[in-house]
Chains A and B, each alone.
Chain A
Amino acid sequence: GENVEQHPSTLSVQEGDSAVIKCTYSDSASNYFPWYKQELGKGPQLIIDIRSNVGEKKDQRIAVTLNKTAKHFSLHITETQPEDSAVYFCAVGGFKTIFGAGTRLFVKA
């Protein structure tokens, strides 16, 4: 079955810096790659997604890149702000979605 690995598990950046979170997956047939942000006491919130026919997608300060050949995708957050502090999950698949283990992002003011 599908396996998703996410790195790093913890990331600490200074406000205004960029943050990058990387994920790899195993099933080459996978075609949907969402990213979720989870704040304390809340459910995961979809922040951006990308499908296999696209290599990059951007929405304001966040962007996702996908390399299907290498089976990895990344989340990029630019100009980080303290409110970006949360746990971020990559995931694969729209059905039986498989999640990574999460990255706890700390943005220091």
Chain B
Amino acid sequence: ETGVTQSPTHLIKTRGQQVTLRCSSQSGHNTVSWYQQALGQGPQFIFQYYREEENGRGNFPPRFSGLQFPNYSSELNVNALELDDSALYLCASSSDTLSYEQYFGPGTRLTVT
């Protein structure tokens, strides 16, 4: 069984640029959630995707958007990057929206300069 994978591992971007982060869900999982984890803090829920549709969103502006593909992999896109977007971005998958157990990937460390 393959776990959750994310790419890239690290990324450095300049303020105002756009970034795309990728996530492959665990085998058999059709639900993907994205979280932002600032240094020294707990993860914060960005949004969840289920069967290619956004299924709920946290308190993040529209410049944070996502996609889920037919194979349940997912992308997180952030436009007009700000310095405060520097964080670890985590993807978590679960077997469906009714299964509360989430399995996290290792994250992508984004630095905005």
Query: Chain A interface (Cβ within 8 Å of chain B)?
Result: 6, 32, 34, 36, 41-46, 49, 89, 91, 93-102
Residues in A with CB closer than 8 Å to B107 are 42-43
CB pair A49 B100 closer than 8 Å = yes
CB pair A46 B106 closer than 8 Å = no
CA distance A42 to B56 in the complex (A): 25
CB pair A34 B100 closer than 8 Å = yes
CB pair A102 B101 closer than 8 Å = no
Q: Kindly supply a per-residue 1/0 record for chain B positions 40-83, scoring 1 wherever the CB is within 8 Å of any chain A CB and 0 otherwise.
A: 11111100100000001010000000000000000000000000
The residue in B40, B43, B58 that gathers the most chain A C-beta atoms within 10 A of its C-beta is B43
Query: Chain B interface (Cβ within 8 Å of chain A)?
Result: 4, 33, 40-45, 48, 56, 58, 90, 92, 94, 97, 99-107
CB pair A49 B101 closer than 8 Å = yes
Nearest neighbor of A1 in chain B, beta-carbon distance = B59
- Taking the nearest CB of chain A, how far is it from the CB of B13, in angstroms? 20
Known: A42-B106, A44-B104, A89-B42. A94 touches B99 (CB 8 A): yes
CB pair B45 A96 closer than 8 Å = yes
- Taking the nearest CB of chain B, how far is it from the CB of A3, in angstroms? 12
CA distance A100 to B43 in the complex (A): 8
CB < 8 Å: which of A6, A94, A100, A101 contacts B102?
A94
CA distance A80 to B43 in the complex (A): 25
CA distance A45 to B102 in the complex (A): 9
CB < 8 Å: which of B41, B99, B100 contacts A102?
B41
Residues in A with CB closer than 8 Å to B48 are 95-96
25 contacts between A and B (CB under 8 A): A6-B42, A34-B101, A42-B107, A43-B106, A43-B107, A44-B43, A45-B104, A46-B102, A46-B104, A49-B101, A93-B100, A94-B94, A95-B56, A95-B100, A96-B58, A97-B43, A97-B45, A97-B102, A98-B45, A99-B42, A99-B43, A101-B42, A102-B40, A102-B41, A102-B42
